[in-house]
Structure 1
Amino acid sequence: MRLNRHHELFRDSVRGVLERVVLPELDGWESAGRMPTHDLFRALGEEGLLGLTLPADAGDGGLGLDLGYAYVWAQELGRLPAGSPAMSLSVQTDIVLPLLAEAGGDQVRTRFLRPAIRGELVAALAATEPGGGSDLATLRTTAVRTADGIRLTGEKAFITNGSVADFAVVLCHLVEADGERRPTGLDSLTLLLVPTRLPGVHQERHTGKLGNRACDHGRLTFTDVPVPEENLLGKPGSGYEALTRVLTRERAFLAAVATARAEAALRETVAHARGRAVLGKPLMDHQAIAFRLAELDAELALVEQYTGAVFHLLDEGAPALRQASIAKLRASRLERDGADLRLQLHGGGGYMDGGPVERAYRDARAYGLAGGADEALLHLIAGHLHTDI
């Protein structure tokens, strides 16, 4: 991504906001296993950070900036010493709000998009189901369309912001009341905006997570939930295509976050290796260790450039599903490799619960699952090998 002086000035501004709003509280949030998501989103919304790239001429509160600003935003979130804020915010800024801006009608924009840009509402994407994971072909949640409206029934799990969200964008099968009740495949998948206050919606928080402990993850259960017709996002059956578009952007966002986290970990590990002596000389002077750090540095340089190029493709409106998947796959693996070496070189002190080294190791593991598991990304990339790449 070609960044200019304005992008770098924006970086300074974002860093200042995060240092003021997030950093003083982050350790406490992680220790408590939760963060004040609504307060955080409202504070960042007041700074104009939740609608950076949404159209400015639609009157919804978007700033209409190019994706270079989203790239910088992701990098600065990635430099925080815990992954929870980036994971929670990515759903709002890079999945749900772009979906609403693209496919929401007037009432959706007024009642949900605009307040969410201001940080007054927290959003979730409810796609994953228990036992289904990244395999959308096994999705069972169904909305039945009747003369009286839409009725939604199903269950979603492992949903970021799931138990605190004010509304969720739900991926479901949409069928007519007199039609097939248990459809299969992707053609009937539809996106439906569901306020969590509606009767029949039950939110439950997942606890006991390995990492990203302050970020909320929850289960959503829908039991014959009445959903207004105007809450349909796009045409019936367009859900898979629309979700693929925003997941492409989210994967680029997560790649930028993971790359920034890998860079921060590498910088700290190198400083530690210079200062800690083993067998009479600094760790950095042992060739085996220096070469492992050099490998990480070389990989980081490549992944960072590639991720920036993906943002450039997206900013130009070019197809980038394969490229974003590659970037997210390699960046998340790089973060895991860097976190593993960092813990190894810190020894027993790094392994102790609650420290920054141990936390980074735990947090890094999530990105092999979130935003598309590694295997799902490899399946997608392999599929492109059968076509022109």
Structure 2
Amino acid sequence: MFRKAGEQGYLLMWAPEQYGGLGLDDMRYEQIVQEENFLHGDPGLCLTLHSRVVAPYIGQHGTEAQKQRFLPPAVRGEKILAVAMSEPAAGSVLAGMQARAEEHADHWVLHGSKTYISNGLLADLVVVAAKTGSGSGAKSGGGSHAIGLFVVEEGMAGFKRGRKLDKLGLDAQDTAEMFFDGVVVPKANVLGDPTQGFRYLAQALAVERLQIAIGSIAHAQVAFAVTLEFVKERTAFGRPIGTFQNSRFRLARMRAEIDALQSHVDHCVMLANAGALTAEVASGAKMLATELEGRVIDECLQLHGGAGYMEEYRISRMYRDARVTRIFGRTSEIMAEIIGRRLGLDERRLTR
């Protein structure tokens, strides 16, 4: 699927032509790919993670040599990308990261483990976040919270993958564990400053959360369309169930809410295109879109009645697939924390 997408020019469309891309740095192109994939494909196919979440780390922080080496095969779908942040004990909280990298003359040695890694089994190139500051054996300084980003390649000694994790939904997605046991990473595979990874990750998280919002609203749109068709055809008491007032009113409210939030997500895409998407706006879009996705799909399953609980109906699979979006990319509660702190509601400030 990645190779076919690459052949059609659907991967890393933002990449300059000298790296094989189309030079189309307008997020609406990736938005359309997401929407069509949710309608006709499967949400477990993480093309956008590859193109708009991971690859920009290379495009923005990589050297010219790294771009020439890593971007063209990613554009063609020959090398699949993943990013490894979450850990078994710390989740996605970067401050609690245990993975570490020790600096040597011409390489770094990487130790630690990661979990919940999307594209984890398929990935050929993994951008791994690891501590590089004091206490990690690093020579470059940067303090105890310094983090580096390392491109680990398939086949490097000490790099192992765990099992494909059994999940509630997203059955098509190869979510996996990763282990790094003394992996020797050449300095040619370090992205940018090996002490500034936290800043690089923070800059990218707004776009990542917007990608989740785009997918969530697309998923809600598809659930609504599937359900509208169902209630027009299924009958009760001798007439289509969509003609009952309860069904009409519930569908009318869903239609209005989806349309309103779709407009906001579209606006956020334009902000991202202008380089003006802030952390709090992206967090709000992610929080609202994922929560609306959950409510809409739950309502749509209810309107399917008993059929909605059957695997043969698409809404059943959609119900399972939707639940994780309020968790990955950081939870809805963390999104609210980010927004609240930007409002000045930080306990450390207010209790001084």
TM-score, L = length of structure 2: 0.91
C-alpha distance 61-258 of structure 1, shift in aligned 2 (>3 A)? same
Superposition deviation, residue 179 in structure 1: 4.8
> 2:206, 2:277 within 8 Å by CA — same for their partners in 1?
no
Superposition deviation, residue 353 in structure 1: 2.6
> 2:100, 2:111 within 8 Å by CA — same for their partners in 1?
yes
Matched with 1:26 is none
Q: C-alpha distance in 2, partners of 1:158/1:273?
A: 37
Q: Given the alignment of the two structures, is residue 64 of structure 1 paired with residue 23 of structure 2, yes or no?
A: yes
Superposition deviation, residue 77 in structure 1: 2.1
> Which residue, out of 219, 227, 231, partners 1:269?
227
Q: Given the alignment of the two structures, is residue 302 of structure 1 paired with residue 260 of structure 2, yes or no?
A: yes
Q: C-alpha distance in 2, partners of 1:289/1:200?
A: 57
Q: Provide the secondary structure at the position in 2 that maps to 1:335.
A: helix
Q: C-alpha distance in 2, partners of 1:177/1:284?
A: 63
Greater relative contact order (CA < 8 Å, ≥ 6 in sequence): 1
Matched with 2:194 is 236
Matched with 2:348 is none
Q: C-alpha distance in 1, partners of 2:125/2:144?
A: 24
Superposition deviation, residue 326 in structure 1: 1.3
Matched with 2:89 is 131
Deviations 1:263-307 (A, max 9, x none): 111122122223323344432233333222222111101110000
The one-letter code of the counterpart of 1:130 is P
Deviations 1:112-142 (A, max 9, x none): 2211111110111000001322311111100
Q: C-alpha distance in 2, partners of 1:363/1:288?
A: 26
In the TM superposition, 1:1-389 aligns within 5 A as 40-56=1-17, 59-65=18-24, 66-80=26-40, 82-85=42-45, 88-175=46-133, 179=137, 187-386=145-344
The one-letter code of the counterpart of 2:218 is A
Deviations 1:206-233 (A, max 9, x none): 2321111011111010011100011111
The one-letter code of the counterpart of 1:70 is E
C-alpha distance 136-220 of structure 1, shift in aligned 2 (>3 A)? same
> 2:100, 2:136 within 8 Å by CA — same for their partners in 1?
no
> 2:101, 2:136 within 8 Å by CA — same for their partners in 1?
no
Q: C-alpha distance in 2, partners of 1:323/1:46?
A: 34
The one-letter code of the counterpart of 1:189 is I
Superposition deviation, residue 386 in structure 1: 1.0
Superposition deviation, residue 351 in structure 1: 0.9
Runs of 4+ in 1 over 4 A off after TM superposition: 176-181, 183-186
Superposition deviation, residue 178 in structure 1: 8.3
**Count of aligned positions:** 343
> 1:169, 1:191 within 8 Å by CA — same for their partners in 2?
yes
The one-letter code of the counterpart of 2:294 is R
Structure 2 gaps of 5+ residues are 346-352
TM-score, L = length of structure 1: 0.83
Q: C-alpha distance in 1, partners of 2:41/2:12?
A: 24
The root-mean-square deviation of aligned C-alpha atoms, in Å, is 2.2
Q: Provide the secondary structure at the position in 2 that maps to 1:347.
A: helix
Structure 1 gaps of 5+ residues are 1-39
> 1:90, 1:250 within 8 Å by CA — same for their partners in 2?
no
C-alpha distance 50-186 of structure 1, shift in aligned 2 (>3 A)? farther
The one-letter code of the counterpart of 1:60 is Y
Q: C-alpha distance in 2, partners of 1:327/1:143?
A: 34
